[in-house]
Amino acid sequence: MPAPDAGRSVRLLFICLCFMVWLGGCAALTGQEPLRVSVAGIDPMEGAGLEMRFNVKLRIQNPNDAPLEYSGVSLQLDLNGQSFASGVSDQSGVVPRFGETVIEVPLTVPAFAAVRQAFAFAGSAKAGSIPYEVHGRLAGGGMGGGTRFSDQGKLSLPTDSM
């Protein structure tokens, strides 16, 4: 009798899907606005070998009525739509309700990523403007998932007017 087993599998699959949709809906029902993240500064650090290292300062703004506790941060920087640098920090703290804080994350640029971007810049017709995207996650928060964030824009490079 294969029919009853198939029906049981379909019901189980349906129940699992409903549970996953319910969990996803819980996050949407909280009415939380996304964090506002911007790059507040980039300072060079001493690298190792052919790697480049930077200390990125992120300004995190919390437009919500509840403080946000975090215990770690991960960060990815993309330039021209390609992965460029990444980093993590075990820094912890609280972004106050309707407040802001600055978090520092050391980023590493692998040598091949730097070379790839150098060739892309040299061959780019849009000299002086480079699209970037920063995305990451503050660890902690509800259900251990943390809070994801992103920011994007264009970096303006000095152009030779001669």
Give a yes or no: residue 58 inside a domain: yes
Domain count along the chain: 1
Record the pTM: 0.68
In a domain, 8, yes or no: no
pLDDT digits (tens, 9 = 90+) for 58-91: 999 999 999 999 999 999 999 888 888 999 999 9
User: For residue 10, is it within any domain?
Assistant: no
Residue 150 lies in a domain: yes
Q: Is residue 106 part of a domain?
A: yes
Residue 67, domain member (yes or no): yes
Average pLDDT, the chain: 77
| 100 pLDDT higher than 90 | yes
- From CA 23, how far away is CA 109, in angstroms rounded? 36
Report residue 83 as tokens. Answer: 């992965």
Query: Which residues span the domain enclosing 85?
Result: 35-156
CA distance 107 to 42: 10
* Residue 25: inside a domain: no
The sign one gets for the Cα dihedral 101, 149, 58, 144 is positive
Among 3-17, 29-43, 93-107, whose mean pLDDT is lowest?
Answer: 3-17
User: What is the per-residue pLDDT for 22?
Assistant: 47
CATH number for 50: 2.60.40.10
Is 120 strand, coil or helix? helix
